[in-house]
Amino acid sequence: MTKLLEVSGLTMRFGGLLAVNGVALELNEKEIVSIIGPNGAGKTTVFNCLTGFYRPTEGQILLQGEPIQGLPGHQIARKGVVRTFQHVRLFKEMTVLENLLIAQHRHLNTNFLAGLLKTPGFRRAERQAMERAAFWLDKVGLTELANRAAGNLAYGQQRHLEIARCMCTQPKILMLDEPAAGLNPKETEELNRLIGDLCRDHGVSVLLIEHDMKLVMDISDRIYVVNQGTPLAKGTPEQIRTNPDVIKAYLGES
Ligand SMILES: Nc1ncnc2c1ncn2[C@@H]1O[C@H](COP(=O)(O)OP(=O)(O)OP(=O)(O)O)[C@@H](O)[C@H]1O
């Protein structure tokens, strides 16, 4: 199995608060790995460190062997690590299609002059961006709504659009922060299928933060548990389900 991401000793302090304390994790190619833990455990802070929103206080983050800790977010995104957020972040006034095109613009290998002159390279890149947008719209079932303002979509559809937007940038690693929050059981089931499909058929590795334990247990190859910023356990869903420390710290709460 090829290692994509290797995190060790990840630590993040906010003043006197130790939000993340020595977290280690690995993500291999075509794997779905979840990070779980009680509210305030430090999960989103780990995501923020991995994606360059925060510069970690300590620790190493290797992407295919190359250190990326402390790099700005746009550089990490260009290297193929993209994410969704706990709360939907779309350009709500723009159409569904425009949201997918704009996401790719930041990744297109063209410059202002090429755009102004409409060079063949620029036109090719634009055509490919449109094809990718159409592909992912179809995949997440939003083709009919392509010209609707993103803000007018139902909540579950906005969640799907966020994932499509990430996939348009052809990521290696897709990081989803509580993608099932606010979804009904049927929508969660669709999300489950979509994530599995992304990994199996499109070769993307998924790092997931999620409180919906059924989804986590169904979909994860491996799970890491953090508690108060500190690693508590790691293993397969079965190992985590039966781990007494986890039951005490987390599953026992619900
Ligand atoms: N920018 C920040 N400044 C100060 N403290 C922060 C900041 N971001 C997070 N924290 C604190 O770090 C701790 C971990 O927060 P984080 O959001 O990472 O937890 P979480 O596991 O994602 O929680 P939840 O499941 O509720 O989303 C919390 O005590 C939080 O208040």
231 within 8 A of 22, measured Cβ to Cβ: yes
Q: Which residues are CB-neighbours of 171 under 8 A, at least 6 positions away?
A: 80, 81, 82, 204
In this prediction, residue 90 has a pLDDT band, given cuts at 50, 70 and 90, of confident
Pocket probe for ligand 1: among 44, 48, 84, 254, the residue whose CB has the most ligand atoms within 8 Å is 44
In this prediction, residue 125 has a pLDDT band, given cuts at 50, 70 and 90, of confident
Which phi and psi angles does 185 have, rounded to 5°?
-55, -40
The protein residue with its alpha carbon nearest to ligand 1, atom 16, reads 42
Distance (Å) from CA 35 to ligand 1 centroid:
14
Cα 162 from Cα 184, distance rounded (Å): 17
Residue whose tokens read 């929050």: 181
The pTM (predicted TM-score) of the whole model is 0.90
Q: What 3-state class would DSSP assign to 230?
A: strand
178-193 pLDDT, tens digit each: 999 999 999 999 999 9
Pocket probe for ligand 1: among 17, 20, 224, 232, the residue whose CB has the most ligand atoms within 8 Å is 17
The protein residue with its alpha carbon nearest to ligand 1, atom 11, reads 19
The protein residue with its alpha carbon nearest to ligand 1, atom 23, reads 40
In this prediction, residue 147 has a pLDDT band, given cuts at 50, 70 and 90, of very high
Residue 173 β-bridge partners: 81, 205
User: Quick check: 254 pLDDT over 50?
Assistant: no
- Three-class HEC string of 185-204: HHHHHHHHHHHHHHHHHHCC
* Terminal C-alpha separation, the chain: 35
How confident is the prediction for the chain on average, in pLDDT? 91
Distance (Å) from CA 144 to ligand 1 centroid:
38
Does the CB atom of residue 17 touch ligand 1 within 6 A?
A: yes
Does the CB atom of residue 59 touch ligand 1 within 6 A?
A: no
Does the CB atom of residue 37 touch ligand 1 within 6 A?
A: yes
Residue 115: per-residue pLDDT: 64
Residue 83: per-residue pLDDT: 94
58 within 8 A of 11, measured Cβ to Cβ: yes
